[in-house]
Structure 1
C-alpha cells in the first residue's frame, strides 16, 4: 500500500514538473507572450553579445554590465554545445536541463532514510511561480551546482568543497554554503579548487576579475530593500531619478550613496552574526549544513543593494534542500520564500512599470515581497541559532555562608 502511494506521489510530482516546465518553455520560446517586459532579451541580446566576445578568448572588458566571476563565461558559452539551435533557444533548453538536474538530485536525496520528497515538491512548485525569468537567466544553472554541493556535503566533503568553489566562481553567493561546513576537507578542497580555477582563468583570458570594479560601483536597485526609502521619498519631493545604470534600473540622486553604504554596513553586520553563530554553534546535525546555507543566503539577499527576481531561484533551491531533510527547522522560512516568489512575478515582469513609477501598487508589491524575505531571514536565523546553540546554563547562586552567632560568655 505504501509503495503504491509513493508511486502515485512520484507520478504527480513528475507530471506537475512536466506541465509547468512546458509552459515555461512555451513562454521563453514566445509561443505564448508573457505579460510585461520581454524577459528573454537578456539572453538574446546581452548574453549573446557577451558570447561573441568570450568565444574569442577575452572577457567583455568594455561592458560595465559584465559583473560576474570568470566561470560565468562557461554558462554564457554553454549554448555552443547545441550548435543546431539558435543561441537563445539553446540557452533555454540548457536552463530547463539544469532545472531537471535539480529535480533529479532532490528525488535521489528524498528517497533516503530520514529524508522527504517535500524538497522536490518545493522545487517543482516554487520555480514556475517566478515565471519565464527562471529560464532567461543563468541562475538556475548556478543553483544546480549549489544544490549538488549541499547534497554531497555530508558524505563527500571534498566533492562539496570543489562544487562550492566552482559555484562561487560562477556567481559568488555559493561561497556561503561553506558557513555550516565542519569538516576541514571541505574547506581545503574549496580553497584548492578556487585557487586553481582562478589562476587558470587569469592566465587564459584577460580581464577575468574586472567584474570586481563594476560590482563596487553599483548603486541601489529599485527592487532592493533600501530602495523602499526612495520609493516613498519620491512622494515627498525627492529630486532623484530612476535610470538604467550598470545594467539594472537604479535610483540616482541625493542620498543614494548613503543608503548604498548602509546596505553594505548591514551586509557586514550579517557576516558578523554568521561568524558569531559559527563560533558558538556546537550541535551539528545532518541538516545543519543546508539550514545554515539558506540562512546565510537569505541574510545576504535582504541586505544587498540589488534584489533581482532571479535571486529567488537560489532561495527556492536552498529551501528545497532543507526540506528534503525531515527534521529541518526551515519549513516556515521556506514557505515565506515560496510566497515571496509568487509576489515577485507580480512585481516583475507583470507590475514592473508600477515599481519604476513608485506608485501605490508598485510600493505595496515591494513591501510585501521584501517583507516576506526579511521575515524569512530573521526566522531562519532564529531557528538556526536555537537548534545549534544550547541555552546557557543558568549560573548557580553562590552557596550562602551560614554564620554561627557567638553567644557571649558570661564572666
Structure 2
C-alpha cells in the first residue's frame, strides 16, 4: 500500500489529498498542516475582516468529518527537513514520518521587513486566522491603522479595513500602487481613487522604524511620523521552502518542477505557492501564487502520484483586483517584451469619475500581456488572447488604432486560428 504524505493543508494540499483518494481508494494518505485550525483559505480572511463570513466560512471543507470520511489522516506538525535517501520527513518536534510519495504544498509565508520595532504590540501580518483575530480586536471604527505595502494582497486587505470604518494610511516602497501588477499610469489611477475614498497613500516611501507604545509611532523615510493604533505588514510573501535546504531537492525561487509537477527527486512533487513551474506565455519558470494555479497544480501532481500520467498545460499569470470598487486586471507580460510594441488608452473622466485605462503589449502579431483599470467588459477576452497566444494578423493594426476592439479581434482571430488548426488536423489524417 503506497503512503502519500502531503506537506501543507491549504487549497493545494486538500485538493491533492482528495484527488489521490478518488483514484487510489486503498492508498494511505497523511495531510500535514502546521496550524491547529481546520484547513482554511487565506483568501477568505479579508471577507472575515469585513464581517461577510465567520471563521467557519473560511474552512475549505465545511463537514467536520470530511477528511475522516475519506480516510485522510490529519497531522498538525511543522517540517524541519526532508531526508531524500530514507524517504522521511523530519518534524520540528523530532518526530519522523516515512513516505512513498511526497507532495510539498507548504505555500508561502509573509516577508518580514528588517524594521526596528516590528515586534511591538499592535504590529501584525495579515496571514493566519490568528492574525485576523488580533486585527479585528484593534481595527474598530475610527481606529488609526497604518498598512505597510500596497501590492495585490495589500489592496485586498485595504478593502476589508476600509469597510471596518478605520482611518487608513498605506505606505508603499514602490513608486506606485500595485507595482508588480500595474504600470505607472494604472498604478497612479488606483492611488488617486484610493485617496478620493479617504485613504492616505504614501508611495516611494519606506517605514524606517516603529516606536512601541499607545499609540505606535511610525517613522517614514519622508521624515514624517504617523501615529497608529494598529500596524499591518503586507510587504509581500515568499515560498515556504527553507526546510528543503541541503535536501537535494532543487529550489530556485520556489521548488522547481517539471510538467508533471515532479521535483528533481523522483517520487517527490510540489504544487501551489511554493512551486516553480513552467509558464508558456513568458517562456520561463515562475512562482504564480494564485489559487486557480494551486488547484490545477495539485490535481496534476496527485494524478502523477497515483501513476496516471498528467501534464500541467501552463501557469496562469492573471490578477484581477477590486480596490474599493475600482476593478483592475493584469495578464501575462504586462510590462512588454524586448522588441515588442505597445498601445495605451486612458480616459480619466470615464467610469463615473474613476477613470479607465487599457495597455496592450504585442510581440509580432500576438498579444503577450495587458493591463486594465476600470475596464471590465473584455477581461475574459484579454485572458483568452494572451493565454491562447492567438495570432491576430491584420487585427493587430486595428487594435493599435483602437484598443477597445478586443472582442471583435478575438472572435475573428481565434476563430480563424481554430479553423486553420482544424484544417491541419484534417490533412494529417
TM exceeding 0.5: no
**Where is the helix percentage greater, Structure 1 or Structure 2?**
1
Larger radius of gyration: 1
Q: TM-score, normalising length from structure 1?
A: 0.29
